[in-house]
Amino acid sequence: MQKTIIVTGGGRGIGLAVIKRFVADGDTVVATDLKFGDEAKALAASANGKLTLVEGDVSKPADVAALVADAIARHGHIDILVNNAGVLLSKATVDTTIEDWTRVIAINLTGTWNCLHAVLPGMIARRSGRIINISSELGLIGFATYAAYCASKGGVIALTKAVAKEVAPHGVLVNSVAPGPIETDMLKYDTIEFNDETREQIPLRRFGQPDEIAAAVHFLAGPGGSYMVGQIISPNGGTAI
């Protein structure tokens, strides 16, 4: 049965890979991001109405409410939410400003909360739904100079577990995918030297690909995820075992 899916942070990288996976299945996707590039727009144009792009900011409750209302108006209900929107910050803790901290928490953690909070009433009423939060292995293990980012993603993991216990009796399954280093524009935020050093520390000696994370999301959203509640799946090449 074809599903209706919201994907946040769908303009590139992991989010775009997730969208491609669901569209290939014939599902209907409503994607949001601050802005969309040519690749996402071209995909929407060729998707025969199966992909709608909505620009917005997940840290703003009004934007999220409008997104969810539009998706329900178009498609009747929401089957799956993939909370992928996020920003990276690499800065020593003593140099991190309150503005830095607030921005990272607002998008990565509060944005995740805003979206799941908006879709849960409908899912609970229907006694059916899947929510997949993209966190990070750094939310599990921590990393120097990434305190704000680690805190935000650790918060996503804790949020996933708490909400999963609360809503599983209502037929809503909440889980998380916590990627290791994935070859996206976000990874390129760091220097080439850091990337080379990081690559050598990965047991597989390579960065992950967005498609590999999309596969984990697809698993949790499909029949294979039917008994998964509050789980943190971490495709990371062996960096966190």
Query: Which tens digits make up the pLDDT trace of 31-81?
Result: 999 999 999 999 999 999 999 999 999 999 999 999 999 999 999 999 999
Residue 194: pLDDT above 90? no
Please name each of the domains of the chain with its CATH number.
4-182+210-233 (3.40.50.720)
Could you confirm whether 149 is annotated as catalytic? yes
Identify the residue whose tokens are 């329900």. Answer: 72
Of the pLDDT bands very low, low, confident and very high (cuts 50, 70, 90), residue 192 is low
Classified as helix, coil or strand, 239 is coil
State the average pLDDT over residues 231-241: 95
Identify the residue whose tokens are 């850091």. Answer: 194
Q: For the whole model, what pTM was predicted?
A: 0.96
Which residues 6+ apart lie within 8 Å of 140 measured at CB? 154, 157, 178, 232, 234, 240
